[in-house]
């Protein structure tokens, strides 16, 4: 008598792992949906940089323009790239407040239980902030063209790419701060404002550092925004081989690396 042995079909299933870039894209598009529904927020974000250009720019030309060697449109070649960096700084450093709201509603916790990597969540959120900021930057450049500002066709896009890299780092640090002070939400704005304005002044965005005291010049060397500002000015002027460009890329990449490292570590520790 023969015995027939039945073999059960294999029920093993293979799971496909999404790529990191796909995770970043998923998070970014998820975060962009509210912006797409309310595009007025992008227009409203233009008010502050336009105020600086319209009110501070003429004062800069009249007060320190001659002593700093600015003549005519040279003021805008010096000032507009700095305003683009300032817009990135203000826009990405406040993104942690959005995360605080999501932590209150429970949306943040629901995202953490998904298979999305922690770093992709940080990068996706930060890039979401850069999309409207880049749109604002393009509008600002177009607005300033009639006033004599010129953007190099190669250096301009490279400058915007550098701002995107910088924004990833600043946004990640902002999210890390929001997570660290989640039990004392008011601390977010206290720390953010305390750090933001020294970085802003020491970067030379608003006034030339050459006219400042020696201690300020030394302190500015440790401000990564200073190197990014100088690189943006060189890129928009078409000086692509300037040493300032290399220093700016180094500062932007290091800021992104430190921001992601701190952000991912803070995110992982908050879920332990």
| pLDDT tens sequence across 135-192 | 888 889 999 998 888 899 999 999 999 999 998 899 889 988 988 887 787 888 899 8
**For residue 136, is it within any domain?**
yes
**For residue 80, is it within any domain?**
yes
**For residue 6, is it within any domain?**
no
Q: Which positions ≥6 away from 196 have C-beta within 8 Å?
A: 89, 90, 93
CA distances from 55 to 20, 58, 59, 155 (A): 44, 6, 7, 27
**For residue 9, is it within any domain?**
no
**For residue 12, is it within any domain?**
no
Burial-class residue 118 by CB neighbours within 10 Å (0-12, 13-18, 19+). Answer: middle
Tens digit of each residue's pLDDT (9 = 90 or more) over 75-113 = 888 899 999 999 999 888 888 887 777 777 766 667 766
> Which structural domain, as residue segments, surrounds residue 237?
20-270
Question: Length of the chain in residues, anyone?
Answer: 272
Nearest in space to 172 (alpha carbons), one of 137, 124, 131, 108: 124
Nearest in space to 21 (alpha carbons), one of 119, 107, 114: 119
Given this model, what pLDDT does residue 220 score?
92
**For residue 4, is it within any domain?**
no
Quote the CA–CA distance of 216 and 193 in Å, as a whole number: 19
**For residue 265, is it within any domain?**
yes
Domain count for the chain: 1
């Amino acid at each position: 008598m023969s015995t027939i042995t039945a073999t059960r079909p294999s029920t093993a299933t293979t799971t496909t792992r999404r790529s990191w870039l796909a995770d970043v894209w998923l998070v970014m598009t998820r975060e962009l949906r509210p912006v797409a529904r309310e595009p007025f927020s992008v227009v409203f974000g233009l008010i502050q940089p336009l105020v600086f250009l319209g009110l501070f720019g003429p004062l800069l030309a009249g007060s320190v323009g001659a002593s700093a060697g600015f003549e005519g449109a040279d003021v805008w070649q010096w000032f507009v790239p700095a305003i683009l960096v300032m817009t990135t700084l203000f826009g990405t450093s406040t993104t942690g407040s959005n995360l605080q709201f999501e932590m209150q509603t429970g949306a943040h916790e629901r995202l953490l239980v998904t298979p999305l990597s922690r770093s992709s969540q940080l990068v996706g959120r930060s890039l979401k902030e850069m999309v409207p900021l880049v749109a604002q930057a393009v509008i600002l450049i177009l607005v300033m063209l009639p006033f004599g500002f010129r953007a190099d066709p190669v250096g301009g896009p490279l400058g915007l790419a550098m701002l995107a890299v910088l924004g990833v780092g600043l946004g990640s640090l902002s999210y890390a701060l929001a997570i660290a002070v989640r039990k004392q939400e008011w601390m977010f704005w206290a720390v953010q404002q305390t750090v933001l304005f020294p970085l802003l002044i020491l970067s030379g965005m608003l006034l030339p550092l050459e006219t400042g005291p020696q201690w300020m010049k030394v302190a500015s060397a440790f401000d990564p925004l200073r190197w990014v500002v100088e690189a943006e000015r060189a890129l928009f002027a078409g000086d692509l081989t300037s040493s300032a460009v290399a220093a700016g890329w180094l500062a932007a990449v290091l800021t992104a690396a430190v921001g992601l490292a701190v952000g991912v570590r803070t995110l992982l520790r908050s879920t332990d």
